[in-house]
Amino acid sequence: MIGSGVMVARGPAVEVQDLTATHQRHPAVHHVSARFEPGSLTAIVGPNGAGKTTLLRSIAGLHRVDSGRVAITGANPRLALLPQQSGMDRAFPILCLDVVLQGMWSKLGAFRAASTADRDRAQAALEAVGLGGFARRPVGAMSAGQFQRLLFARLLVQDADLILLDEPFNAVDARTAADLLAVVRRWHGEGRTVMAVLHDMDLVRDEFPHCLLLARECVASGPTAEVLSAANRLRARRMAEAWDEVAPACAA
């Protein structure tokens, strides 16, 4: 079981039950079970190709689950996903303020124009991530770090109860990473449930109380210090070395 925070949680509990998901019928996540408590802050770690992104997308409902299930508690909790930057097209001609306003899609819909209050809220989100003067700047003119700040601003206006982050600090400078980590701490302090796919084990140990170590199967989950033991990390590495990339889909 992955532990809970000490604050009054507004975020939901998430339970992954015997989940298997595949890519082109080959197992990417295999019979994984784990529970994320309301308001928990959890790092999802493991070797390259361990299924971390697939697990996150399965929780978000964006990747088909072959077997098992994901259960999210609460009455219609709001969910937000930050995908990897490498999978995003920044060539589309759109201004920073409009990207942030996309986070209000559930409120605005396709035809309702953003109000002055909506724009003020989007501007405040830009300022909160250090982009106060960027409202009219096209996204194609931004650095990787600035663009990641922009995506965090969009998450801020979504005001989600469950926040899923896929490599949120990848390919950004140390200052940007520190500023964005402060936003993650804020979400955790507000009792939201936060999960992040990460590779920096020092960061995980220092900042994330709970951890799920994945190697297509669940190696361990729980308090970070226990999960990242030498024995567990060795087991994950050996499981990765034994992977069969053309293994058939599991029928069990």
HEC string of 98-129 equals HHHHHHHHHHHCCCCCCCHHHHHHHHHHHHHC
Alpha-carbon span 25 to 183, nearest angstrom: 37
Alpha-carbon span 103 to 124, nearest angstrom: 13
70 in any annotated domain: yes
Backbone angles phi, psi at 123, to 5 degrees: -65, -40
Pairing of strands 67-72, 162-166: unpaired
Domain count, the chain: 1
C-alpha count within 13 angstroms, C-beta hemisphere, residue 160? 24
Alpha-carbon span 107 to 15, nearest angstrom: 28
CATH number, residue 68: 3.40.50.300
Q: Which domain does 63 fall in, by range?
A: 1-78+162-169+194-244
107 in any annotated domain: no
- The model's pTM is 0.90
Q: How many CB atoms lie within 10 A of CB 68?
A: 17
198 in any annotated domain: yes
209 in any annotated domain: yes
pLDDT tens for each residue of the chain, 252 residues long: 444 444 578 899 999 999 999 987 788 999 999 999 999 999 999 999 999 999 999 999 999 999 999 999 987 899 999 998 765 677 778 999 999 999 987 666 555 677 889 999 999 999 999 999 999 999 999 999 999 999 999 999 999 999 999 999 998 999 999 999 999 999 999 999 999 999 999 999 999 999 999 999 999 999 999 999 999 999 999 998 888 776 666 665
What residues contact residue 174 under an 8 Å CB cut-off, 6+ apart? none
What residues contact residue 88 under an 8 Å CB cut-off, 6+ apart? none
Question: What local confidence, expressed as pLDDT, does residue 227 receive?
Answer: 98
Residue among 142, 130, 129, 132 at smallest CA distance from 94:
142
Q: With 0-12 CB in 10 A as exposed, 13-18 as middle and 19+ as buried, what is 207?
A: middle
205 in any annotated domain: yes
Q: For 113-143, how does the pLDDT look when each residue is reduced to its tens digit (9 = 90+)? A: 778 899 999 999 999 999 999 999 999 999 9
Backbone angles phi, psi at 162, to 5 degrees: -120, 120
149 in any annotated domain: no
17 in any annotated domain: yes
Q: For 54-93, how does the pLDDT look when each residue is reduced to its tens digit (9 = 90+)? A: 999 999 999 999 999 999 998 789 999 999 876 567 777 8
Question: What local confidence, expressed as pLDDT, does residue 4 receive?
Answer: 44
Question: What local confidence, expressed as pLDDT, does residue 209 receive?
Answer: 98
Question: What local confidence, expressed as pLDDT, does residue 5 receive?
Answer: 43
250 in any annotated domain: no
Question: What local confidence, expressed as pLDDT, does residue 248 receive?
Answer: 63
